[in-house]
Chains A and B, each alone.
Chain A
């Protein structure tokens, strides 16, 4: 959403410096690193072409011949005969990613990972340490190449989104800095095609083009009211980005405490999970961690989001609103498990990663908070299995009275440590 405090006429805040770093075709590059003979060959990492495998990552030589990530491997092989296919080695990638992030951490105290191979670094105020942003970017690229042996592309800009955009534009093996001056930045962004906006894909782009919005400049020039009317709130965020304006308070350097908050935990497994009981146990653990943290921070979530990544690296996310803001473990678990179970059933593959997030809207964070008559656990939704109109919970501890279980667990953990007590379903 466009931040109202960013409207012209308000005093400008000091410019931020964001660096976006993204490893070039990470998994494929990791394979080349370990097997130098693959260098220069069309290479894809992913599931086998015989099954339902998809391309998780591919080399530039493969891309030149039409291979794209997320493409079914069978199609990739059809487009690119002679394509070398390697199965993913997640353990290895995680180790390399760890080494890369250790380098990132030297450049900024505020590194925000987007995935194993991508992160935003807030470089604001680090100039005396690392030199001007362009110099810092150059040093970071050199360090990653020398110490880990991988190529990382870097974009630098005054907002996070533009830094990512610059990084994408500079690939492969690039370092691109967007203009810091707002007027120049807008001119720099204007000719870019509308597809460059995050979330504008094959479905949305034609819709925008039909509205006469072919470039970022077209969108930047539109009146905000008109954007809101035609494209909704998401359109305003796109417009801000197209104008080189911060799309969020955080982006603009506001305090993290303001605005929407999200607490999340995710786990990748050494061995992919197939067993429903095992998956359920993990979801329960994640819900426990997320809600315990939310309670520590005095936060209640309105939305539960889950993430399921399968062995072929396809990822599904699902979210559902809660009837009431809560930090109750059972309530969050019930919804998270429901979502995960549906996603797993639909994916029909072994699971390699699970994540649970609890999101709180700004009003729950900043606004007045309703006090409650009863402890959350005393009134946690408990639904015996019913045919019609059943609540989200289909199983789990039935309708037993559970007064103050969460606070009791929190107290015990505060005294004796996180492992001192667990729910039976987590064992």
Chain B
């Protein structure tokens, strides 16, 4: 079959699922509502026989190459991302065809259905920031995805807690560290590198970009390249580029709080500990997220008392040959970390009632540390 390529009007034919997948990644960035409605679109850009989809919220931008699509006519058009995604989701056939007329009207068709949606000329769409792809760092995608999964959840959810609403990328001395904290707990994973790091990196990447990178990295088998500039970062896999504005606030001095004198070390079964915590926390309310932890020679006793709701007491057998410690924790902070760990057992290290509880893991090529600050129950 001979394909005639026209210029000026975009025309595509290709695999519906591939297009939908690529669009799914892009719409994760595209804001559902924005003071600049043009940002609610996805940019379809077909050039040189390749289709790329682009989305941005101005802080984070993404460009995805769609592989199994034939470009029959080259051109650019903006389409409302949410609507486009809905249509692709509902299509029945394997193949989809998209044709754009000279007034940005888009006809999307499969075997038995045809949609006509109004697009927009992309003249006013913001240019994607350029990041020089030089002097980058390469990491295996799968390992990086894992590091993000095990740290990012500890970041602060609020944008107002500026520097903590991101994940620190600390690259120096033959090791890469990802660190996230909300000021109450902290997660850090370290990966030992085989080569020297030519230029150290110490930047805070917004959680939104990190979540996106995790999604992209876990879907690829290759490598992720990282390029850092003064105010932005480029993260690249074979078919995808993410550019994110760096968080400019100062990340808290995390190395100062890494555990030193945590001499009370104990081993716990992960599943059992999680079940005990969940039971103890059953009565917790939004206002009262406190469980009393009593580490004694008889084991760990978890109690929760919520005024006007009730009381719970769960005893967890434990080998604890140290001085007793009585303190309190927000159980959710433990449940969060127990969810991302895979081991049958875990190591918990304690110092005293006022210091962080530490969950540690060492493995080949790296380590993981998670700190939870206790509650002051007597306040």
Contact = CB atoms under 8 A, between A and B. Distances in A.
Interface stretch (B62-70, B77-85, B244-252): B244-252
Interface string B49-71: 00000000111000000000000
B144 to A, nearest CB: 25
Interface in B360-379: 371, 373-377, 379
B316 interface: no
B375 A369 contact: yes
Given A368-B379, A373-B356, A363 B287 contact: yes
A374 B185 CA distance: 10
Contacts of A4: 308
Interface stretch (B110-118, B134-142, B154-162, B271-279): B154-162
A205 B331 CA distance: 45
A401 interface: yes
B164 interface: yes
Nearest to A371: B373
Summarize B's interface: helix, strand, loop or mixed: loop
Contacts of B164: 379
A388 B57 contact: yes
Between A324, A373, A391, A403, the greatest number of chain B beta carbons within 10 A of the residue's beta carbon is seen for: A373
Interface in B6-35: 34-35
B176 to A, nearest CB: 22
Given A323-B158, A378-B252, A389-B59, A368 B376 contact: yes
Given A372-B184, A373-B184, A373-B186, A324 B161 contact: yes
A382 B257 contact: no
B282 to A, nearest CB: 18
Interface string B77-99: 00000000000000000000000
Interface in B218-258: 248-250, 252-253, 257
B55 to A, nearest CB: 15
B359 interface: no
Interface in A339-379: 363, 367-374, 378-379
Contact-size category for A: 20 to 34
A368 B162 contact: no
Contact-size category for B: 35 or more
B260 to A, nearest CB: 14
B249 to A, nearest CB: 5
B328 interface: yes
Interface string A378-390: 1101111011110
A298 interface: yes
A10 B249 CA distance: 54
Interface in B323-379: 328, 330, 354, 356, 371, 373-377, 379
Contact of B161 (A367, A369, A379, A399): A379
B163 interface: yes
Contact of A371 (B58, B288, B375): B375
A382 B252 contact: no
A193 interface: no
A382 B287 contact: no
A373 B158 contact: no
A399 B58 contact: no
A382 B34 CA distance: 24
B321 interface: no
Contact of B183 (A379, A386, A388, A401): A379
A392 interface: yes
Nearest to B252: A374
B207 interface: no
Between A379, A384, A401, A403, the greatest number of chain B beta carbons within 10 A of the residue's beta carbon is seen for: A379
A392 B59 CA distance: 17
Contacts of B290: 367-368
B371 A373 contact: yes
Contacts of B288: 363, 367
Interface in A257-300: 298
Contact of B160 (A368, A372, A381, A400): A381
B152 interface: no
Contacts of B287: 363, 367
Interface in A4-26: 4
Given A387-B58, A391-B160, A368 B184 contact: no
A211 to B, nearest CB: 28
B257 A371 contact: no
A372 B183 contact: yes
A378 B34 CA distance: 32
Contacts of B109: none
A386 to B, nearest CB: 8
A382 B249 CA distance: 6
Nearest to A388: B58
Interface string B163-193: 1100000000000000001011110000000
Contacts of B186: 373
Contact of B248 (A323, A368, A381, A399): A399
Contacts of B257: 373-374
Interface in A172-215: none
Nearest to B286: A363
Contacts of A384: 248-249
Contacts of A363: 287-288
Between B183, B184, B287, the greatest number of chain A beta carbons within 10 A of the residue's beta carbon is seen for: B183
A244 to B, nearest CB: 24
16 contacts: A368-B376, A369-B379, A370-B184, A371-B184, A371-B375, A372-B183, A373-B257, A378-B252, A378-B253, A381-B162, A382-B250, A383-B160, A383-B162, A387-B58, A400-B250, A401-B250
Ordered nearest first, which 6 A-B pairs have the shortest CB separation? A368-B375, A369-B379, A374-B252, A323-B158, A391-B160, A368-B290
Interface of B: 34-35, 57-59, 158-164, 181, 183-186, 248-250, 252-253, 257, 287-288, 290, 308, 328, 330, 354, 356, 371, 373-377, 379
Given A370-B375, A384-B248, 19 more contacts: A4-B308, A298-B379, A324-B158, A363-B287, A367-B288, A368-B375, A371-B373, A372-B183, A373-B184, A373-B257, A373-B356, A379-B183, A381-B161, A381-B249, A382-B250, A383-B160, A388-B59, A401-B250, A403-B253
Interface of A: 4, 298, 323-324, 363, 367-374, 378-379, 381-384, 386-389, 391-392, 399-401, 403
